[in-house]
Amino acid sequence: MLRSHARQPAPKGPVVLVVMDGIGRGAGDEADAVKIATTPTLDRLWIPGASTELRAHGKAVGLPSDDDMGNSEVGHNALGAGKVYDQGAVLVGRAIKSGKMFEGTPWRQVIERGLRGGALHFLGLTSDGNVHSHLDHLEAMLAAAAQAGCKQLYVHALLDGRDVAPTSALEYVDRMERYLANLRSSGIDARIVSGGGRMQITMDRYEADWAMVERGWHTHVLADARPFTSVTEAVNTLRGETPGITDQDLPAFTISPSRPMNDGDACVMFNFRGDRAIEISRAFDDAVFEKFDRVRRPDVFYAGMMEYDGDLHIPKSYLVSPPEIERPMGELLAASHISQLAISETQKYGHVTYFWNGNRSGKFDSATETYIEIPSDNVPFDQRPWMKAAEITDRLIQELRTGKHRFARVNYANGDMVGHTGKFDATVLAVEAVDLELGRLAKAVEDMQGILVVTADHGNADEMFQRDKKGKVLRDKDGQTVAKTSHTLSPVPFLIDDPMRGDRYEIDPARALGAGIANVTATCIELLGFVPPDDLESSLLRFR
């Protein structure tokens, strides 16, 4: 049970935490859609003593180095846990380096299939973005399989263009082709056999569009997609047919001669991040499956890089254990019978529930927790940059006015989802839409005598153009800026709007220096009127 705070009384109204997904604090130049957007609410809330910047990338969120940009999964893990845990990229890298991954039963079962004459299929995002996957991991597995004596190694290449440059696919394809050619020189049939853009096939999340997964199944398992002689031909042809298309949106393809998955084969999903790997895992694992017609379900041993859902045990077999996040904020509040609300639209619903709760499905206490999903539109995000921000705010204010919820967390997905399209003007509108709804919410929370806390999980909209090594905005031969669709290394805002604060407390500038978003948990617990547990990253508040 949480103990009452001696110097911070519980507010009369709720404490509401807003996660402005993908809205960081950028350089403030022409690439910064957040700075260029009209944001009167954010401007008003940025006041001395109640605002600061927090780190949301690299080691501050459990990634290998500070060169690694943050992402929504690790960001919400950190926000929900209040502690920093080593994340997927670190855990997989460690398991490969130590050899532990290749000593486990699942990997041995994969190899057994290969040694009996079956093909080994490796499915995942083929880039070095280090958000969902890394090519280093794939190459390590291919090497281990080859060394073990497996003779058929096939790669199903999901093209990125989202966590890396938007049209960089062939750079990664060339690297992979060179690696596979090396394996072929030793008598192994090693090649890329299928692929497509990550936002077109396979990598749906939160059951927003099962048709994506169905297209992936047809492409990877059934080898039923448009054929080409090489990935380079596929990418160049598809780009030529739709000028301006980015890698993430390229249609599905197969490479001749086709190689469907057959009885006796094995498949490894080498993405380590869970949200976009769960649905395709279910398609492989579930005996009873009604989301789409699989046509045929071959006897394939399927393993994920990690366990993507620890409560539902998806997939059944996995190579590396995920981080064990203990006593996240949701569990702490539930144990103290503090009512809480989580709300977002489909695109980020799992982030304020599953990832927030330490990669757990379901609730800690149904009596005190309310989860609300606002269905997302299934249209390109740059065509609806406002997304469901208004509907989220409508429902959130309605719920808060019931007086049931002492703590609420809400994610506005606009800055991230629209930022990923690389469309600058649409992203400016997305940021403005969030700011508009933030203004509505701030007024409602103030009327209830509550406290509004605003932050983000990582940057994205704050840097929409690529830069050179000196930090200058890149331009092509025609003088045009080059779109950036990935997350950023920017810090994120942290703001407290508490009309009753007076001079009772402020954000401690010394403590905030170098702090990360994991510090938000203890801060919110303190704002609720409780003493944060000692094992959390410290609260940012200093009481006078």
Task: Tell me the pLDDT tens digit for each residue of 372-395.
Answer: 999 999 999 999 999 999 999 999
The CATH number, out of the four listed (3.10.129.10, 3.90.550.10, 3.40.50.300, 3.40.1450.10), of the domain defined by the range 89-320: 3.40.1450.10
Domain with CATH 3.40.1450.10 in the chain: 89-320
> Hey, which CATH number is domain 3-86+324-543, 3.40.720.10, 3.20.20.10, 3.30.70.3170, 3.30.70.270?
3.40.720.10
- The pLDDT of residue 284: 98
pLDDT computed for residue 349 by the predictor: 96
CA angle at 511 for the pair 509 and 513, rounded to the nearest 5°: 70
pLDDT digits (tens, 9 = 90+) for 141-162: 999 999 999 999 999 999 999 9
Residue 306 three-state SS: strand
Instruction: State residue 311's pLDDT score.
Output: 67
Q: How many CB atoms lie within 10 A of CB 22?
A: 35
What would the 3-class secondary structure string for 187-222 be? Answer: CCEEEEEEEEECCCCCCCCCCCCHHHHHHHHHHHHC
Q: What are phi and psi of 34, to 5 degrees?
A: -70, -45
Q: Which of 4, 51, 65, 72 is catalytic?
A: 72
- Rounded Cα distance between 348 and 360, Å, is 15
Q: Mind listing the pLDDT tens digit of every residue in the chain (544 residues)? A: 999 999 999 999 999 999 999 999 999 999 999 999 999 999 999 999 999 999 999 999 998 889 888 889 999 999 999 999 998 899 999 999 999 999 999 999 999 999 999 999 999 999 999 999 999 999 999 999 999 999 999 999 999 999 999 999 999 999 999 999 999 999 999 999 999 999 999 999 878 899 999 999 999 999 999 999 999 999 999 999 999 999 999 999 999 999 999 999 999 999 998 889 999 999 999 999 999 999 999 999 999 999 988 767 899 999 998 888 999 999 999 999 999 999 999 999 999 999 999 988 899 999 999 999 999 999 999 999 999 999 999 999 999 999 999 999 999 999 999 999 999 999 999 999 999 999 999 999 999 999 999 999 999 999 999 998 889 999 988 999 999 988 999 999 999 999 999 889 999 999 999 999 999 999 999 999 999 999 999 999 999 8
77 and 62 in contact (C-beta within 8 Å)?
yes
One-letter amino acid identity for 33?
A
For residue 97, the model assigns a pLDDT of 96
Neighbours of 403 (CB within 10 A): 12
pLDDT at 310: 74
- What is residue 275's predicted lDDT score, i.e. its pLDDT? 86
User: Is residue 539 annotated as a catalytic residue, yes or no?
Assistant: no
pLDDT value of residue 64: 84
Distance between CA 516 and CA 332 in Å, rounded? 20
**Which residues of the chain does CATH 3.40.720.10 include?**
3-86+324-543
pLDDT of residue 337: 97
Complete DSSP assignment for 92-147? HHHHHHHSHHHHSHHHHHHHHHHHTT--EEEEEE-SS-SSS--HHHHHHHHHHHHH
pTM of the full structure: 0.83
Whole-number Å distance between alpha carbons of 366 and 370:
7
